[in-house]
Amino acid sequence: MSRTLWNDAQGVPHTIDQRFLPFERREIELRTCADCEAAIREMRVRGAPLIGAVGAWGLALATGADASDDALRKAYERLAATRPTAVNLRWALDRMIRRLAPAPPAQRAALARDEAAAICDEDAACNARIGEHGARLLRVLAEQRSALAGMAGAETAALNLLTHCNAGGLATVEHGTALAVVHRLHEQGVAVHVWVDETRPRNQGALTAWELAGRAIPHTVIVDNAGGLLMMQGRVDAVIVGADRVAANGDVANKIGTYLKALAARDNRVPFYVACPTSTIDVDTVDGASIPIEERDAREVTHVAGRLDAGGIGAGGIDAVRVVPEGSPVANPGFDITPARLVTALVTERGACEPTHAAIAALMRRDAPACGDDRERELERDAHRARAAAAGRQQPDGSHAGPAGAR
Ligand code: MRU
């Protein structure tokens, strides 16, 4: 798979303008710090890890233009102010500053480019590992799913996952986070089907669908309100989402609407996984209540953007239509907080971990371990037990005995 952020032969960073996806693939060049700042602010690029990588390149490009302490500080502040919730941006900017500040200004431009490139490479490598670790966890559910299908006389039964927003390759430098797990399962021959939340207001579900379609992974786009019913009907084996910031206590900030999915998952005993690199874990933020929530433009709510249907005026063009009466006030928080108690496990490049203060602190102290340590096996067993409990309500033919709360 190709990267979402890459350098051309002259070393100029390029990316995709995601505002036109999935209808048009337009590439953009990032030649200056201001280009990077605008790309993040206007959501030409999006997704916590990709925002971090573009921020790092922004600082590298700023350093190339003026490597003084004052210029670095100003570039840092401008870039950091673009989007407040995703912590990967601040993480990447801080890492750049730690690398650059001790060096003499004359050496900074080269160092900055190396560091930005390293951040990109590491993001890709981390996400591949997340895919590996997550696939190991979810294969347990897939095997159980197949066993149930076998009992019912069916040949195969896909593992049904539900995801919210886009945590795919587009949200990262490469591979994605939640979708890295899906891709890995698919590569390993596990039959997977993904319920894709459309994710109003910006419909990042369309990006997820586009990515899954590109790999021929079975998926179905649903409106954001459908997930609860599907879980109640036993048609979701696990929820897996990305994250924009995880607090020290395991609370998770992710795209608005994630919390409601976690509540529905808990009520229906469906495991709820959060896949993210450790650069998304912010041990300096004590809990979810301390995470700043980005309030976005009202126009995202009042208007819906899409491609104009064939046959009409402007057919084929991308445009927005108003869906809210003129004058009605709107609110548009971009993210919500899923309390740690609703999260089954965090899946990171260092392995899976319970969303508790102690487990996160231990994870952050660890060097990246090989897949398959004891704690992971324990989490696999937990996931197995969670699913077995849910399966207790499920008939061998896949029909469902009803929601947990209804009995
Ligand atoms: O506002 P966005 O599109 O930048 O939102 C961020 C996200 O893509 C999601 O919240 C995602 O689940 C976390 S980033 C892998």
Which helix (H) or strand (E) covers residue 6, if one does? strand 5-7
| Active-site pick, 35, 224, 237, 244 | 244
Q: Measuring CA to CA, which residue among 90, 244, 85, 87 is closest to residue 164?
A: 244
Residues 186 and 115 in one domain: no
- Looking at the fold, whether 36 and 105 belong to one and the same domain comes out as yes
Residue 188 reports pLDDT greater than 90:
yes
Distances (CA, A) of 109 to 54, 97, 105, 148: 16, 12, 8, 58
Question: What is the pTM for the complete model shown?
Answer: 0.89
Lowest mean pLDDT among 77-81, 145-149, 361-365: 145-149
- Probe residue for ligand 1, chosen from 15, 166, 335 as the CB with the greatest number of ligand atoms within 8 Å: 166
Do the domain assignments include residue 253? Answer: yes
**pLDDT higher than 80, residue 380:** no
- The reply to whether 126 falls in a domain is no
Task: Note whether 105 and 139 are same-domain residues.
Answer: no
Lowest mean pLDDT among 1-15, 241-255, 332-346: 1-15
**Which of 62, 93, 121 represents a domain boundary (last residue)?**
121
Radius of gyration from C-alpha coordinates of the chain = 21
Pocket test of ligand 1: the residue of 16, 45, 165, 336 to mutate, having most ligand atoms within 8 Å of its CB, is: 165
Quote the pLDDT of residue 310: 72
Kindly tell me if the per-residue pLDDT of 152 is higher than 90. Answer: no
Over the stretch 25-42, which tens digit does the pLDDT of each residue have? 999 999 999 999 999 999
Q: Are residues 311 and 234 in the same domain?
A: yes
Q: What is the whole-number distance in angstroms between the Cα of residue 165 and the centre of ligand 1?
A: 6
State how far Cα 35 lies from the chain centre.
23
Does ligand 1 lie within 6 Å of residue 204's CB atom? yes
Which ligand 1 atom sits nearest the alpha carbon of residue 335? 10
Of 86, 121, 156, the residue at which a domain comes to its end is 121
**For the chain, percent of residues with pLDDT exceeding 90:** 81
Bridge partners of 245, per DSSP, are: 253
pLDDT number for residue 313: 65
Q: What pLDDT score does 147 carry?
A: 83
Using the predicted structure, report yes or no on whether residue 332 has a pLDDT greater than 80.
yes
* Residues 359, 217 within the same domain: yes
Is 244 annotated in the active site? Answer: yes
Decide whether any atom of ligand 1 lies within 6 Å of the 167 Cβ. Answer: yes
Q: Considering the domain boundaries, does residue 128 fall inside one?
A: no
Closest ligand 1 atom to 164 CA: 12
In terms of domains, do 39 and 154 share one?
Answer: no
Beta-carbon contacts of residue 383 (< 8 Å; ≥ 6 apart): 137, 138, 140, 141, 238, 271, 344, 345
pLDDT value at 321 more than 50: yes
User: Same domain for 104 and 210?
Assistant: no
Q: What is the pLDDT of residue 57?
A: 98
pLDDT computed for residue 308 by the predictor:
87
- Which of 80, 25, 26 lies closest to 51 in space, CA to CA? 80
Same domain, 235 and 328: yes
- Residue 368's pLDDT band (boundaries 50, 70, 90)? low
72-104 tens-digit pLDDT: 999 999 999 999 999 999 999 999 999 999 999
Give me the number of domains the chain comprises.
Answer: 2
- Look up tokens 């929601």; give the residue: 403
| Residue 11 belongs to a domain | yes
Ligand 1 centroid distance, CA of 395 (Å): 36
Average pLDDT, the chain: 90
Going from the Cα of 138 to the center of ligand 1, the distance in angstroms, rounded, reads 22
CATH code for position 116: 1.20.120.420
Statement to judge: residues 87 and 196 lie in one domain: no
Residue 116 and residue 233 share a domain: no
- Does any domain span residue 359? yes
CATH code where residue 294 lies: 3.40.50.10470
Question: What ligand 1 atom has the least distance to the C-alpha of 166?
Answer: 8
The answer to whether residue 385 scores a pLDDT higher than 70 is: no
| Lowest model confidence (mean pLDDT) among 26-40, 136-150, 252-266, 365-379 | 365-379
Where does 152-226 have alpha helices with state H? 178-187, 205-214
The pLDDT value given to residue 82: 97
Which atom of ligand 1 is nearest the CA belonging to 241?
A: 12
Structure tokens, 52? 């971090």
Query: Is residue 350, in this structure, part of any structural domain at all?
Result: yes
Range of the structural domain that residue 241 is part of: 133-406
Do 235 and 162 share a structural domain? Answer: yes
Q: Give the pLDDT band (50/70/90) at residue 381.
A: low
> pLDDT confidence of 397, banded at 50, 70, 90?
very low
User: Any idea which of 176-185, 301-310, 394-403 has the lowest mean pLDDT?
Assistant: 394-403
Percent of the chain with pLDDT over 70: 88
Q: Are residues 85 and 179 in the same domain?
A: no
The pLDDT value given to residue 401: 39
User: Which of 43, 87, 254, when mutated, tests ligand 1's pocket best, judged by the most ligand atoms within 8 Å of its CB?
Assistant: 254
Question: Pick from 123, 181, 231, 126: which is nearest to 345 by CA?
Answer: 181
Q: Which residue's entry shows tokens 């997820």?
A: 208
Evaluate whether residue 334 is within a structural domain.
yes
Q: What is the pLDDT of residue 383?
A: 54
Ligand 1 centre to CA of 164 (Å) is: 9
Residue 107 clears pLDDT 50, i.e. is over it: yes
pLDDT of residue 384: 53
Of 121, 141, 165, which residue constitutes the final position of a domain? 121
pLDDT at 1 over 70: no
Q: Which residue's CA is the nearest one to ligand 1's atom 10?
A: 255
Query: Would you say residue 393 has pLDDT above 80?
Result: no
Which pLDDT belongs to residue 293? 98
